[in-house]
């Protein structure tokens, strides 16, 4: 008769970490956000509103209950201390990988991906990163800082090296980033047209997926700090995700939902469904 | 029983019920809404904002003044008493059908369609229902209740029987609903691709049209209680409506506008234009 | 390192019902709301935002940790079936009273108080009700219904009888309600001036407290379905609560927070602090 | 000329102009608004939301049904032509006064009062104006224009002359306005303290009342184009209105509600209750 | 006359008018807006939010710094005096054309284009107007006025004559406007399909471009007074702009952003990017 | 270092730093905000909306033009690096003090006050701090960090020592803070009652004023990250400011406006008027 509150649809193992294959955790950090902050509220918005969404995907004819998922909640962070915060995220990622879980992190701003990719790279030195985003995130520094949401993939390149980052949907950045990208990463501007071919090329190498939800057009996803018109549709994002099916995905994240900027709740619903389809594809 | 209030562009007969061919009425009920209520404000929002919309459709080259329309206002309801409320809606539908009007009801949540379909079925036993929606609405019960917005088409199936319900745009529901649908209704998932063919199949049988506006993608229609990303575009909905032209439509409804969740007014504008095109097509 | 999500500040007993003195539960029902629905989201909004509020009251120099509180979550309800829903609320109240807990229910609309007062009355036949509200809630029926947020205290009077209901802050109702009140209840219009004297008069009789938060002026509490200008200030409400200190309070509720109508979150913060002060006073 | 639309609680004579003592009409003009426009939506917001407010005032123990009120709707206006618009308002005021009605106009911005005061002055040459406002509105010109919401009382002074305008609640203007006011009008800065004495002084001279709702503190009334913190409370405004009881009020208006800037609806509720109490006091 | 204020990304010449090739100015007028006003805030919203947008266009591989742009701010206007305001806009346009600048004006409502087109026509008598819009704007009068946002292209036709106005994206108007258009202007309903061919036809005649942003679908652009569902996508608008590349553009404007109706800021971001691409194409 | 942008009413010296007595600058940092971030937008919101506010104070009968004020804009900050950011703020404060300006800083979150108070203390070792706030801000650490908006006054105490901090309006904090305060600072809980007496006690010692706007009740000031019901009114804050007149104020700040949480703009108007009255009192 009594409904224990705030169970999300992404918790299918009755609160047992041990039994889980996929472990979700929140990285509620938005400390380097340059325009409108608020992605710290992303993970809990996803949990909170998820009970309005179905477990079942008619696209994939599969239910969340078919995957063993544990949601370990948000990581507590010492506000204002960027380096210490990133270390905490990395430390938890390391634990998950050591325990042979498939980590799925919910941001937070995009910088949270850096320690996660780094830890994943330490376990899988031939790691490939698949990056969905409106922005290049390839600056060498931003507002005089090396660690920023706008530098995150450039920092990842520091240890991954050339040819290991595949980017899709990119439509914003400064000129130098686009030039730099030409010889260091594989960038698919504006859309995901080359994804199918790239997936074949990647083969069975270990893959980290990072989805910056602002790859979507702001018509359907306005709950983010720097909306960029001209993005892909929700259906295009779903199709891109389904294309990832053959890959050997070892970790993933989904970032940049700032739920308060979309009071209609649509952006949160979009994030929840994207997460559902992602887990049903890679889990 | 009828509470007379707003003049809108959907009132072309100078307040004379008798002279009208099409009669609009509001069913402002949202009592079984499971997530965000507020569709009770739908009909009046449509009337209130309609004066910002043109009478003329450049798509159909036809004006509302070419159809005799009477708007009888919203039906007064005893709040909190679901059964009594549904009976009142059914009773008014019966009167309209007896007077040979073409009833066009504005919801309210989707459950309001149940008594309307039922009364229409009583007059036209070979009735076919064309159902535009994001959701299957085919549960047998929902939160332990037989009467719910999530069961409405299942309840209609109780008296209509197999093969009489045609569904379009469906992208959400639980697994059992989709399985059940396979042998009982004709479901076109995700889009309206089979509509043209279905219209030919239906021929001149009497048709009830029920449009749950959440068939639309929330990018253009966020003013609803449970937005489902991945919907059809406004142009696709218009085209679907124009496809209905050859049918023998005997009643229609349009439901699930919850105007307060879209403070920009766009969702209400979408509902008004959909209603205009619907009436210009079937009226 | 990992913060288990969604623990509210109103949960001080490590999730043990047995050890608790005060038991909170949510009654997320808004089915008879006549204007703007949404109080169903009240209890979870209180839990969700509570982590931004301190445990400690500088007004009372007391902390929530000094009271043993268990939050049993929201009661699952069969949407659209008013009678069945009220029965579920009553049934849980009966259990709490049987287990010698102090029940504190979070609405929902005001009608949820009816089964709670009734069950409390069954245990304490000499029960007195202290009612804070903008509205009389004394109609005999409302929109043709006996069970409504607008009739709730009248229904309570049906079994309590004359002189057992004390009302404060009342500033809205129809004429007949105010007339009827003169000979049946003790009404303090507009403010709480007579409360101190009434508390002395009540002495040690068992007391049920029902706080409709719309007693507050909408300047500080706009997150409610029918805001009534001219209400009391937050400080006046706190002072009224402190005045209740000497009473023998056996149950309480706090209703009518509709958080979505105040996107600033202030109304929810007001509800949380009111609840904190209430529990620190009666717990 | 008159565009008939909504039924509200301010319509007690079954749509008969002839039988009415008080005639309400809307002047939906905001063409000279210098900051945030939108008062054109004020009158209809009042009508639309009024059904959530009671007919009965517990403050005055009187009901709207005790006054014969007709609501003639909003006046249709040629958008963009200030002078023509003001003439239309004046023309209708003249008709109402000729028919011995008590006109109560709903703005619109404050400039709409000018033709109304002028016509009232033409019938009652010894007219006194009681002006509630946050702003002096005494500029001689504003942004190079003589006709402006910021000059309206100065323009009224052009024909009324010295000592005929009583101002209350004023807390904003430029220095020269305050200086000019000293020798030409009677200004009560910040509050309404001198009102009681002024009412005695005015005696039975004919009185025009103009209430700019921004006299209220924006805590309770934020739905206006230029909110000015430091205003009076809703209770203080009600008390001011009750103080007007002995006067010979021959016309009134209430202006500057811009409902879209307060999505909670509180400002509109404040306007409705103010109008109710005003009519119950002077009607 | 010119009120200097914000620095934005559209200011690349260090505040020197003389050095500039393109001169931007704001025409913050919304005095004839028939539904929801607020376009007066358009130009400053564009400046204010522009710092969140990149200088570089990956579509055109060109940066704003490659064009010499001066932003002269908004023109101060005498509020409420339509004619005088239009004259001020025209006067500034004349100066810019005399100084051989490329004027790019930011509205404001669409009526502001009238004096600008007129002055441009006076310099270039064989001027052609390319008009992107949801609305025909071809009424002869609107609410009894000749000067209105709804008549602006009709007024331009008064001096331009037949065959000089090319319209794209039109989907709303009254029947008579569409009929009149058939013999007087070249109208491409619903989309921009004929643009490529028209550009070839226009050849090197001088061209004025007027972009009413409501040509866009309200899913991506809801910050406007009269949103019209069924519009083109952002990508379609960009492609249309790129198609203009071969033309001899002598002046341009972009109108009808009303930023307050889209609190997410997406509409403003859309306007900024459209302006960036427009300037990078024609500048 | 300084990013010049908006002209506001707080710029009375024609952009000349040298001629100014009062220098305003923005510290747009919200990196340790624990609940809802966004105070980074505070300074520009104040500048942007200020043109809707009068230069003249009828309370003080004084105009801003009587004080020589220069607004040096916001300080550019390396996002995500708390320590470096605070150093930049301190460095600019040092320069202003060296140039004998009266610095008035606009936050940002409250932590920005720390380097400012520190630099002021270095120049004036007998500095006294007057602190208006809802929160004690006296934690020794917060979420494991020494540098936080919640520790700022405690950090100031580290160098100021006992008896140098006067606090007003405090109504939130944890128990240990209130206990610690008893022997180290002078705290006036809930209101400003002791201010008049304290001003006399302080005499002509140098004074730093820090106004956290959340001292105000959220009814009038909801645009802040952690609204605390039970605050003082706007009039009470003005009166407190006027009481400071006799003091030797050497620097001031005003923090915690997060304008996006109050879409009505009232909070920003409150901040602007508070700043105007503050400068007219101390400038």
Q: Which of B214, B234, B224, B217 minimizes the C-alpha distance to B259? A: B224
Q: What is the pLDDT of residue B52?
A: 83
Nearest to B54 among E172, E227, E261 (CB): E172
Picking from A190, A222, A228, the nearest residue to E264 by CB comes out as A222
Q: Which residues of chain B have pLDDT under 70?
A: 1-7, 15
Look-up: residue for tokens 């040819």?
Answer: A163
Q: What angle do CA E193, E197, E201 make, to 5 degrees?
A: 140
Dihedral pair phi/psi, residue A272, rounded to 5°: -65, -45
Nearest to D263 among B7, B48, B263 (CB): B263
Rounded to 10°, the helix B266-282/B42-49 angle is 90
User: What gap in Å lies between CA D118 and CA D125, rounded to an integer?
Assistant: 10
Least confident residue range of A133-137, C14-18, C165-169, F273-277: C14-18
Looking at chain C, which residue has its C-alpha nearest residue A24? C2
pLDDT at D4: 35
With both helix axes pointing from N to C terminus, report the angle between D234-243 and D195-202 in degrees, rounded to the nearest 10.
20
D60 CB within 8 Å of a chain E CB: no
CA dihedral (B234, B235, B240, B246) positive or negative: positive
Contacts for B12 with CB less than 8 Å, ≥ 6 apart: B64, B65, B67, B68, B69
For residue E15, what pLDDT is reported?
67
Place of tokens 């009238």: E114
- Among A34, A35, A222, the residue with its CB nearest the CB of E266 is A222
Q: Measured between beta carbons, which residues in chain A are less than 8 angstroms from residue E60? A: none
Nearest to B271 by CA among E134, E229, E218, D263: E229
Q: Are C5 and A92 in contact (CB under 8 A)?
A: no
How much is the pLDDT for E4?
36
Mean pLDDT in chain D? 93
For the purposes of burial, counting CB atoms within 10 Å of the CB of A251, is it exposed (0-12), middle (13-18) or buried (19 or more)? buried
CA distance E271 to E8: 13
Q: CA E276 → CA E8, E168, E238, E255, E269, distances in Å?
A: 12, 20, 10, 14, 10
Amino acid D28: pLDDT = 93
Token look-up 């307050």 returns: E260
Work out the mean pLDDT of chain A and round it to a whole number.
93
Three-class DSSP labels, chain D: CEECCCCCCCCCCCCCCCCCCEEEEEECCCCCCCCCCCHHHHHHHHHHHHHHCCCEECCCCEEHHHCCEEEEEEECCCCCEHHHHHHHHHHHHHHHHHCCCEEEEEECCHHHHHHHHHHHHHHCCCCEEEEECCECCCCCCECCECCCCCCHHHHHHHHHCCCCEEEEEECECCHHHHHHHHHHCEEEECCCCCHHHHHHHHCCCEEEEEEEHHHECCCCCCCCCCCCCCCECHHHHHHHHHHCCCCEEEEEEEECCCHHHCCCCHHHHHHHHHHHHHHHHHC
Structure tokens at B13: 């007969």
Per-residue pLDDT, C1: 35
Angle at F180 between CA F175 and CA F184, to 5 degrees: 150
Q: Does F6 touch chain E (CB under 8 A)?
A: yes
- ipTM > 0.95, yes or no: no
Query: What does the alpha-carbon distance between residue D185 and residue D157 come to, in Å, rounded to a whole number?
Result: 8
Parts of chain E with a pLDDT under 50: 1-6
Per residue in D209-262, pLDDT tens? 999 999 999 999 999 998 999 999 999 999 999 999 999 999 999 999 999 889
d(CA E122, CA E116): 10
* Bridge partners, C170 (sequence order): C189
Minimum CA–CA partner of C214 in chain D: D266
Distance of residue B31 Cα from the nearest chain A Cα, in angstroms: 17
**Smallest Cα distance from A86 to chain E, Å:** 25
Per-residue confidence in pLDDT tens, chain F, 283 aa: 333 334 688 988 876 899 999 999 999 999 888 888 899 999 989 998 898 899 999 999 999 999 999 998 899 888 888 999 999 999 999 999 999 999 999 999 999 999 999 999 999 999 999 999 999 999 998 878 899 899 999 999 999 999 999 999 999 999 999 999 999 999 999 999 999 999 999 999 999 999 999 999 999 999 999 999 999 999 999 999 999 999 999 999 999 999 988 988 999 999 999 999 999 999 9
Query: What pTM, to 2 d.p., does this model score?
Result: 0.93
Q: How far apart are CA E29 and CA E76, in angstroms?
A: 10
Using a CB-CB distance cutoff of 8 angstroms, which residues of chain D are in contact with residue F273? Answer: 228-230
Asked if C92 and C27 count as a contact pair (C-beta separation under 8 A), the reply is no
**Nearest Cα to E79, choosing from D33, D87, D80?**
D33
Tokens of C179: 């007339």
| Contacts of E154 by beta carbon, 8 Å cutoff, 6+ apart | E137, E138, E139, E140
Asked if residues D156 and D146 have their Cβ atoms less than 8 Å apart, the reply is no
Residues 9-38 of F with CB under 8 A from A: 30-34, 36-38
Could you report how far apart the first and last alpha carbons of chain F are, in Å?
25
* Per-residue pLDDT at A7: 64
Is the pLDDT at D1 greater than 70? The verdict is no
CA A9 to chain centre: 18
pLDDT of residue C13: 84
Q: Which residues pair with F208 in a beta bridge?
A: F129, F251
pLDDT score, position D36: 85
Chains contacting chain C through 3 or more C-beta pairs under 8 A = A, B, D, F
Least confident of C212-221, D75-84, D100-109, F253-262: D75-84
**Residue closest to A218 by CA, chosen among C114, C40, B222, F226:** B222
Q: Among residues E147, E148, E175, E177, which one has the least CA distance to residue E165?
A: E177
d(C-alpha F79, C-alpha F82), whole Å: 8
User: Distance between CA atoms of B116 and B104, rounded to whole angstroms?
Assistant: 10
> Would you state the pLDDT for residue E6?
46
pLDDT digits (tens, 9 = 90+) for C144-199: 889 989 999 999 999 999 999 999 999 999 999 999 999 999 999 999 999 999 99
Nearest to A227 by CA among B41, F113, E263, F201: E263
> Positive or negative, the Cα torsion across B202, B207, B209, B210?
negative
Task: Give chain A positions within 8 Å (CB) of C105.
Answer: none
Residue F275: helix, strand or coil by DSSP? Answer: helix
Is C227 strand, coil or helix? coil
* pLDDT of E80: 82
Q: ω before C108 within 30° of 0 (cis)?
A: yes
Cα B109–Cα B115–Cα B118 angle in degrees, nearest 5: 135
Please give, one letter per residue, the 3-state secondary structure of chain B: CEECCCCCCCCCCCCCCCCCCEEEEEECCCCCCCCCCCHHHHHHHHHHHHHHCCCEECCCCEEHHHCCEEEEEEECCCCCEHHHHHHHHHHHHHHHHHCCCEEEEEECCHHHHHHHHHHHHHHCCCCEEEEECCECCCCCCECCECCCCCCHHHHHHHHHCCCCEEEEEECECCHHHHHHHHHHCEEEECCCCCHHHHHHHHCCCEEEEEEEHHHECCCCCCCCCCCCCCCECHHHHHHHHHHCCCCEEEEEEEECCCHHHCCCCHHHHHHHHHHHHHHHHHC
Using CB atoms, which chains have 3+ pairs under 8 A with F? A, C, D, E
Q: What is the dihedral of CA D9, D11, D14, D15, to 10 degrees?
A: -140
Close Cβ partners of A182 (under 8 Å, ≥ 6 residues apart): none
Lowest-confidence pick of A253-262, B88-97, D73-82: D73-82
Neighbours of chain B (3+ CB pairs under 8 A): A, C, D, E
CA-nearest of B45, B81, B38 to B226 is B38
Spatial contact of E268 and E259, defined as CB atoms under 8 Å apart: yes
Q: Which of A240-254, B66-80, D60-74 has the lowest mean pLDDT?
A: B66-80
Long-range contacts of E143-148 (CB under 8 A, 24+ apart): E143/D76, E143/D77, E143/D78, E143/D79, E143/E34, E144/D78, E144/D84, E145/D78, E145/D79, E145/D80, E145/D81, E145/E32, E147/D80, E147/E32, E147/E82, E147/E83, E147/E86, E147/E111, E147/E114, E148/D79, E148/D80, E148/E32, E148/E34, E148/E111
CA distance linking residue B118 with residue B141, whole number of Å: 18
Per-residue pLDDT for D6 more than 90? no
pLDDT, position B64: 95
What torsion do the CA atoms of F112, F114, F117, F119 make, to the nearest 10 degrees?
A: -100
Using the Cβ of E227 and the Cβ atoms of chain B, whether some distance falls under 8 Å is answered with yes
Q: What does the pLDDT look like over C40-72, one tens digit per residue?
A: 999 989 998 898 899 999 999 999 999 999 999
Residue C129 has pLDDT above 90, yes or no: yes
Kindly tell me if the per-residue pLDDT of D166 is higher than 60: yes
Given this structure, which CATH class describes domain C2-282? alpha beta
Using CB atoms, pick whichever of B5, B48, B263 lies closest to residue D7. B5
Paired residues of E279 in beta bridges: none
């Amino acid at each position: 008769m009594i409904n224990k509150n705030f169970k999300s649809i992404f918790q299918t193992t009755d609160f047992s970490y041990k039994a889980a294959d996929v472990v979700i955790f929140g990285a509620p950090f938005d400390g380097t956000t340059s325009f409108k902050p608020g992605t710290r509220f992303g993970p809990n918005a996803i949990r909170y509103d998820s009970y309005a969404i179905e477990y079942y995907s008619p696209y994939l004819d599969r239910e969340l209950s078919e995957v063993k998922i544990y949601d370990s909640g948000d990581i507590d962070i010492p506000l204002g201390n960027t380096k210490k915060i990133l270390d905490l995220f990395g430390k938890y990622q390391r634990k998950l990988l050591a325990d042979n879980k498939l980590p799925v992190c919910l941001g937070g701003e995009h910088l949270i991906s850096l320690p996660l990719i780094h830890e994943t790279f330490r376990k899988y030195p031939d790691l490939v990163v698949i990056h969905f985003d409106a922005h290049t995130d390839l600056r060498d520094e931003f507002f005089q800082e090396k660690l920023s949401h706008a530098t995150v993939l450039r920092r990842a390149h520091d240890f991954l090296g050339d040819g290991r980052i595949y980017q899709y949907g990119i439509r914003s950045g400064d000129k130098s980033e686009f030039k730099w990208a030409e010889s260091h990463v594989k960038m698919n501007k504006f859309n995901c047209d080359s994804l199918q071919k790239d997936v074949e090329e990647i083969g069975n190498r270990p893959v980290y997926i990072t989805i910056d939800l602002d790859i979507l057009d702001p018509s359907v996803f306005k709950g983010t700090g720097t909306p960029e018109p001209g993005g892909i549709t929700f259906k295009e994002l779903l199709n891109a995700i389904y294309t990832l099916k053959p890959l050997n995905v070892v970790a993933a994240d989904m970032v940049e939902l700032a739920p308060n900027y979309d009071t209609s709740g649509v952006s949160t619903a979009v994030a929840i469904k994207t997460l559902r389809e992602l887990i049903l594809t890679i889990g």
